[in-house]
Amino acid sequence: MSNLPKLDIAVFEGDGIGNEITEPSLDLLSAASEQTGGFELTFKRLPAGAGTYRQEGIALPKESLNAARAADAIFLAAMGLPDVRYPDGTEVAPQLDLRFEFNLYAGVRPVRSVAGLPPVLADPRAAALDFVLIRESTEGLFASRGKGVVENDQEARDTQVITRPVCERLFDFAFDLAAKRRAAGRPGGVTCVDKANVFTSFAFFRQIFDERAALHSDIDADRAYVDATALNMIRRPWDLDVLVTENMFGDILSDLAAGLIGGMGLAPSADIGDEHAVFQPCHGSAPDIVGQGKANPTAMFLSAAMMLEWLAERHSIADCARAGAAIRSAVDQAFGDGGLIPADLGGSAGTVQVTQAVMTALRTPR
């Protein structure tokens, strides 16, 4: 038995391509931790998702939930299948239950260009995008999930919920992140994205943002409407730094942001609360490409890097941060010379080729 710090990771491979990208991601995590040597990872594979619902009649078994609660971090691939639904017709989506159950209010979606991949925007400044979208992940319009009403087959209603305690923590999280980014050489400003000109709930959202901004007066605070933000994300994404927004707006804008860097296969995410955190690629289970060997594991690799960096900070393990940085550098190195283009970006590299290239880069950094 070694005396190294041990970190227990709850692993949900979920559905669809989740099964194809999980193993390579765990191999990469193990390789990165062995290479730095200062900590050990143990993985506990847990069932949940559409397949589990089909087999057991429950999408997120109690044992899985309890094991996830006991773990140091939760690593998740993708859950849900279009034809597996709850009786009310909505998709089986236990990844959303985890966010509610563990109060994972801050959905962090870094948007960073990877050099060597085909550009999406013609402007050369788009080759070096580096901004972060923070999507509130426990309330907003999603608070209505499973509670919407249809009356007399004539009218349907979903209700948006914005609460003060969640907003305060969310905005503080955004300002803290901006401060860290500024310390690392970025401009480090926060923009609140809402629709405060139309909706009472968003006016309240912005009011709380203004209050928290006053408490973080060393950080630039800006406000923008979501429609204008969608336009600017295409026209001038290089000007963005930290954006913070409501759940539904964040859901939509994060797919748009992923599109700017080449698609869902490259977009990592973290859902962070005060006690727990889930790390998973932004994409879903992509049933259309299951079994073809085409699933791009990069988004999950980058989510693994985020997980290591979060664990490093929480447990003060420097080698854990080093391992996270090593995974990110390995991804950059693998794609950097332009010879490795994944299938979802129009190339021919599938899961195996991308994994091998990133693993090789991890073992032989330049």
76 part of the interface to ligand ATP, by CB under 6 A: no
Q: How far apart (Å, rounded) are the C-alpha atoms in residues 104 and 106?
A: 6
Binder to ligand ATP among 24, 51, 189, 265 (CB under 6 A)? 265
Nearest residue to Mg ion, by Cβ distance, number only: 284
Nearer Cβ to Mg ion (51/284): 284
Count of CB atoms within 10 A of residue 325's CB?
A: 16
**The one segment of 32-40, 101-109, 293-301, 322-330 that binds ligand ATP by CB under 6 A:** 293-301
Report residue 97 as tokens: 């239950």
Output the smallest distance, CB 283 to ligand ATP, in A: 3
Output the smallest distance, CB 235 to ligand ATP, in A: 24
Contacts (CB under 6 A) with ligand ATP, residues 31-70: none
288 part of the interface to ligand ATP, by CB under 6 A: yes
x-marked contacts with Mg ion along 278-317 as a string, rule CB under 5 A: ------x---------------------------------
283 part of the interface to ligand ATP, by CB under 6 A: yes
Report the SS3 class of residue 277: strand
How buried is 366 (Cβ within 10 angstroms: 0-12 exposed, 13-18 middle, 19+ buried)?
exposed
Binder to ligand ATP among 299, 305, 307, 320 (CB under 6 A)? 299
296 part of the interface to ligand ATP, by CB under 6 A: yes
267 part of the interface to ligand ATP, by CB under 6 A: no
Q: How far apart (Å, rounded) are the C-alpha atoms in residues 299 and 147?
A: 32
Type of residue at 268:
P
CB 175 within 8 Å of CB 214: no
Contacts (CB under 6 A) with ligand ATP, residues 15-34: 17
CA 132 to chain CA centroid, nearest Å: 10
How buried is 101 (Cβ within 10 angstroms: 0-12 exposed, 13-18 middle, 19+ buried)?
middle
Binder to ligand ATP among 24, 49, 80, 110 (CB under 6 A)? 80
286 part of the interface to ligand ATP, by CB under 6 A: yes
Binder to ligand ATP among 295, 302, 308, 358 (CB under 6 A)? 295
Contacts (CB under 5 A) with Mg ion, residues 256-285: 284
Nearer Cβ to ligand ATP (89/185): 89
State the DSSP H helix or E strand holding residue 320, giving kind and residue range, or none if neither: helix 318-336
Nearer Cβ to Mg ion (59/330): 59
Exposure pattern of 153-175 as b/e (b: 16+ CB <10 Å)? eeeeeeebbbbeebbebbbebbb
Contacts (CB under 6 A) with ligand ATP, residues 107-126: none
Nearer Cβ to ligand ATP (120/179): 120
CA angle 87, 88, 90 (to 5 degrees): 100
Q: Under 8 Å CB-to-CB from 84, ≥6 apart: which residues?
A: 50, 51, 53, 54, 91, 92
Q: Under 8 Å CB-to-CB from 338, ≥6 apart: which residues?
A: 116, 117
302 part of the interface to ligand ATP, by CB under 6 A: no
257 part of the interface to ligand ATP, by CB under 6 A: no
Cross-strand bridge partners of residue 224: 193
Output the smallest distance, CB 299 to ligand ATP, in A: 6
Partner in contact with 289, chosen from ligand ATP, Mg ion, none, beta carbon below 5 to 8 Å by kind: ligand ATP
Residue 76 DSSP one-character state:
E
- Binding residues (CB under 6 A) for ligand ATP: these are 17, 80, 264-265, 283-286, 288-289, 294-296, 299, 344
